[in-house]
C-alpha cells in the first residue's frame, strides 16, 4: 500500500460514520495536494482532514486517534513506561471487584496486542464501563508496578463507546527446555478452605486463618531450562494431571497408602524430570502458568547443526 | 526487599570439554556465592544438564554409601558423578538403576586435585532420572548447538589466529587459564552429530537388507 493510500484509509476511517466519502475520494484529494501542488504529506493530511471536519460540522477533538487531541494513540503492547498520557482503544475483557472505596472500577482492557489492567477512580466521577464493550479512552495515564503496566482513568478522561468488536490478543508466552527441577511445594498439597483464601497450608496451618482442615490439590512448580535461560513454570491441577498422568484421586490414594504426601512429588519427579517440554500460557509474576503442554519426544534433526559445525 | 537470587542455568557440554576444564572461581567474596567451573570454550558453569548412557555404578564409600556413576556421551567420553548421604535421591537412583540405561542428570560441577597435582572434574548430581533414547538424541543435538555457539563466540572474540584480545570476560579468562584449542570441541560436535546420523543410516540399511 502506498503512503497516500495508507493515510487516505486512516482519514476515511475517521469520517466514515459522518460523511459519505470513499477512500478513493480521500486519496484523490491527497494526491492532488502532494503530487500536483507539492505540499508535504503531513500538511496535505491536515488540510484534507480540515475540509472534512467542516463538511461534517465536527470539532477536531471529536476525532479518534491521529487527527488531534495531542496524545499518542497507543496499543496495549506499546505501553512500556509509566506516567505517560495516552489514548487507547480496547475492550473491557474483565471487571474485577474493587478492593477499595477509592476505586470505582478495575479490570482488564484488551486489544489485538494483549491485555492491560485499568483502574477508574471513584472521585473521577466517570460513567461505568461494561464488560465486553469496546471503548475509546482519551487522556489516560500509564502506570507501572513491579514491572507490570496499567492505565489509570482520571477526571479528564473522555470515554467513548465504539461500536465494533476487537479480537483481544493473547499475552501468552511459549517456553521450552528440559525440566531440570521440581521445587518444594509441588505434588499433593493442602489449601486453606476459607472463602477466597487458597493459601497452601504448612503443617496444617494457614498463615492467615491458623489451623484448618485443608483441601487437597495438585500442582507443580517446575523449572524449564534450555541451556541459555531458565523459566519457572506453574502447573495447576489439570496441567499437573496432564503432565504426570496422576489424577488427584490417585495422588490421595498414594499418599494414604504411604501415610505421607511427599511420595506423590517423588513419583512425579521420576516421571517427568530430565525430559524436554514446550509449554504455553500467560505469565504471572515470575511464573508461566501452563495452559498448554507438549512433550518434545521427537529427536531434533541433527543435519542443520552438522552443516553449521562443518562450516566453521 | 531482598532480591531473589536468580537460578543458575544448566549448561550443555560434552564430556570431552567438561573433563578438560579445571579452573573454578567465585564472582564475589560472599561465602555462599556460587562457584563456577570455567569451560574451555569460554563460559562459566555452575550447573550442567547431561543425558547419556549410564555405564557403571559402584559404591565406593568406606563407612557410608558413596555411589559413583559413569555416564558416557556419543563420543565415548565419560561423565563421572558421585552421590552420598547429602544427595539421597541421586544416591538411591545409582543404587537401583541397572546399567546400561539412558539417564538425565542435573548437577553441579565439582573439582578435586589428585596427589599428582592433576585436577579432576566430576558432577554432584541434584537429580537423576531414567529417560528414553529420543530424549538422549535431543540432548546430543542441543549440546552440539550450544557448544557451537560458544566456539563461534570464542573465535569471534579472539580472531581467527586465536591471538586477538578477547572482550568477553569468560573468553578472556579461558585464553588465560587454558591452552586448549577450541577446534577439538568443534570436532567433538561433528563426531557426536555424525554418530546420530550413522545410527539412522545403519537402521535404514538393516531395513533394506531385510527386504
Kindly report, residue by residue over A221-247, the tens digit of the pLDDT: 999 999 999 999 999 999 999 999 999
Could you tell me the fold of the domain covering A173-295? OB fold (Dihydrolipoamide Acetyltransferase, E2P) (2.40.50)
Residue pair A243/A296 in contact (Cβ under 8 Å)? The answer is no
List pLDDT tens digits, range B45-93. 999 999 999 999 999 999 899 999 999 999 999 999 999 999 999 999 9
Within 172-201 of B, beta carbons closer than 8 Å to A belong to 186, 189-190, 193-194, 196-197
* Interface contact A178, partner B, CB < 8 A: yes
Asked whether the domain spanning A173-295 has the same topology as the one spanning A72-162, the reply is yes
Could you tell me the fold of the domain covering B15-198? OB fold (Dihydrolipoamide Acetyltransferase, E2P) (2.40.50)
Let me know how many helices (H) and strands (E) chain A has, helices first.
7, 17
In this complex, do A180 and B10 lie within 8 Å of one another by their Cβ atoms? yes
Chain A residues within an 8 Å CB radius of B133: 299
Once rounded to an integer, what is the mean pLDDT over residues B154-161? 80
The domain ranges of chain A are 3-66, 72-162, 173-295
* Interface contact A304, partner B, CB < 8 A: no
Question: Which regions of chain A are under pLDDT 70?
Answer: 1, 60-70
- The predicted complex's ipTM stands at 0.89
Q: For residue B58, what pLDDT is reported?
A: 95
- Which residues, at least 6 apart from A150, have a Cβ–Cβ distance to it below 8 Å? A116, A117, A118, A119, A142, A143, A144
Q: Please indicate whether residue B201 or residue B106 has the higher confidence score (pLDDT).
A: B106
- Which residues, at least 6 apart from B199, have a Cβ–Cβ distance to it below 8 Å? none
* Interface contact A273, partner B, CB < 8 A: yes
Give the number of A-B residue pairs with CB atoms closer than 8 Å: 112
Please provide the CATH number assigned to the domain covering A72-162: 2.40.50.140
Residue pair A280/A291 in contact (Cβ under 8 Å)? The answer is yes
In this complex, do B144 and A302 lie within 8 Å of one another by their Cβ atoms? yes
Q: For residue B106, what pLDDT is reported?
A: 98
Q: For residue A256, what pLDDT is reported?
A: 94
Q: Where are the beta strands (DSSP E) in chain A?
A: 72-74, 85-96, 103-111, 114-121, 134-145, 148-153, 158-162, 173-182, 187-191, 205-206, 210-211, 215-225, 230-235, 276-281, 283-284, 287-289, 292-295
In this complex, do A312 and B7 lie within 8 Å of one another by their Cβ atoms? no
Residue B4 scores a pLDDT above 60: no
Q: For residue A89, what pLDDT is reported?
A: 94
Q: For residue B208, what pLDDT is reported?
A: 44
Within 230-249 of A, beta carbons closer than 8 Å to B belong to 230, 232
Residue pair A114/A174 in contact (Cβ under 8 Å)? The answer is no
Question: pLDDT above 90 covers what percent of chain B?
Answer: 78
Q: For residue A65, what pLDDT is reported?
A: 45
Find the helix or strand (DSSP H, E) in which B103 lies: strand B101-113
- In the block, cell 556413576 appears at B69
List pLDDT tens digits, range B107-140. 999 999 989 988 999 999 999 999 999 999 999 9
The domain ranges of chain B are 15-198
Q: Tell me the three state secondary structure of residue A94.
A: strand
In this complex, do B148 and A312 lie within 8 Å of one another by their Cβ atoms? yes
What's the rounded Cα separation, in Å, for the pair B180 and B184? 8
Helix %, strand %, coil % of chain B (to 5):
35, 30, 35
Amino acid at each position: 500500500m502506498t503512503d497516500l493510500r495508507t493515510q487516505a484509509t486512516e482519514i476515511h476511517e475517521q469520517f466514515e460514520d459522518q460523511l459519505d466519502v470513499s477512500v478513493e475520494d480521500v486519496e484523490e484529494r491527497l494526491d492532488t495536494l502532494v503530487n500536483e501542488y507539492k505540499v508535504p504529506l503531513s500538511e496535505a493530511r491536515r488540510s484534507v482532514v480540515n475540509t472534512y471536519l467542516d463538511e461534517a460540522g465536527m470539532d477536531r477533538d471529536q476525532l479518534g486517534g491521529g487527527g488531534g487531541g495531542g496524545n499518542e494513540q497507543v496499543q496495549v503492547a506499546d505501553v512500556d513506561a509509566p506516567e505517560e498520557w495516552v489514548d487507547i482503544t480496547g475492550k473491557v475483557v474483565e471487571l474485577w471487584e474493587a478492593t477499595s472505596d477509592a476505586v470505582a472500577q478495575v479490570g482488564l482492557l484488551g486489544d489485538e496486542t494483549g491485555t492491560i489492567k485499568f483502574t477508574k477512580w471513584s472521585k473521577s466521577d466517570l460513567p461505568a464501563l461494561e464488560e465486553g464493550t469496546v471503548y475509546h479512552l482519551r487522556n489516560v495515564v500509564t502506570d507501572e508496578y513491579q514491572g507490570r503496566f496499567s492505565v489509570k482513568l482520571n477526571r479528564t478522561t473522555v470515554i467513548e463507546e465504539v461500536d465494533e468488536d476487537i479480537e483481544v490478543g493473547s499475552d501468552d508466552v511459549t517456553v521450552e527446555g528440559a525440566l531440570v527441577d521440581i521445587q518444594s511445594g509441588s505434588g499433593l498439597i493442602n489449601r486453606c478452605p476459607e472463602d477466597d483464601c487458597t493459601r497452601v497450608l504448612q503443617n496444617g496451618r494457614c498463615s492467615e486463618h491458623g489451623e484448618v482442615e485443608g483441601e487437597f490439590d495438585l500442582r507443580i512448580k517446575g523449572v524449564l531450562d534450555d541451556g541459555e535461560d531458565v523459566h519457572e513454570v506453574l502447573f495447576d491441577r489439570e496441567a499437573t494431571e496432564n503432565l504426570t498422568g496422576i489424577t488427584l484421586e490417585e495422588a490421595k490414594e498414594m499418599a494414604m497408602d504411604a501415610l505421607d504426601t511427599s511420595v506423590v512429588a517423588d513419583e512425579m519427579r521420576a516421571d517427568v524430570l530430565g525430559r524436554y517440554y514446550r509449554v504455553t500460557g500467560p505469565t504471572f509474576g515470575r511464573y508461566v502458568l501452563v495452559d498448554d503442554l507438549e512433550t518434545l519426544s521427537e529427536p531434533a534433526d541433527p543435519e542443520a547443526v552438522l552443516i553449521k559445525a562443518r562450516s566453521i | 526487599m531482598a532480591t531473589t537470587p536468580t537460578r543458575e542455568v544448566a549448561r550443555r557440554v560434552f564430556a570431552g570439554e567438561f573433563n578438560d576444564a579445571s579452573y573454578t572461581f567465585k564472582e564475589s567474596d560472599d561465602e555462599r556465592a556460587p562457584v563456577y567451573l570455567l569451560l574451555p570454550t569460554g563460559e562459566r558453569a555452575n550447573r550442567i544438564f547431561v543425558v547419556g548412557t549410564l555405564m557403571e555404578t559402584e559404591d565406593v564409600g568406606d563407612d557410608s554409601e558413596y555411589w559413583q556413576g559413569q555416564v558416557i556421551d556419543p563420543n565415548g567420553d565419560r561423565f563421572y558423578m558421585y552421590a552420598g548421604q547429602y544427595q539421597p535421591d541421586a544416591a538411591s537412583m545409582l543404587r537401583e538403576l541397572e546399567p546400561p540405561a539412558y539417564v538425565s542428570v542435573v548437577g553441579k560441577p565439582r573439582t578435586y586435585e589428585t596427589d599428582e597435582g592433576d585436577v579432576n572434574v566430576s558432577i554432584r548430581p541434584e537429580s537423576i532420572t531414567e529417560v528414553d533414547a529420543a530424549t538422549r538424541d535431543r540432548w546430543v543435538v542441543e549440546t552440539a548447538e550450544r557448544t557451537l555457539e560458544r566456539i563461534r563466540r570464542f573465535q569471534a572474540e579472539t580472531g581467527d589466529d586465536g591471538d586477538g584480545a578477547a572482550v568477553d570476560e569468560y573468553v578472556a579468562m579461558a585464553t588465560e587459564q587454558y591452552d586448549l584449542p577450541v577446534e577439538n570441541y568443534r570436532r567433538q560436535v561433528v563426531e557426536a552429530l555424525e554418530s546420530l546420523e550413522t545410527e539412522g543410516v545403519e537402521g535404514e540399511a538393516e531395513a533394506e537388507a531385510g527386504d
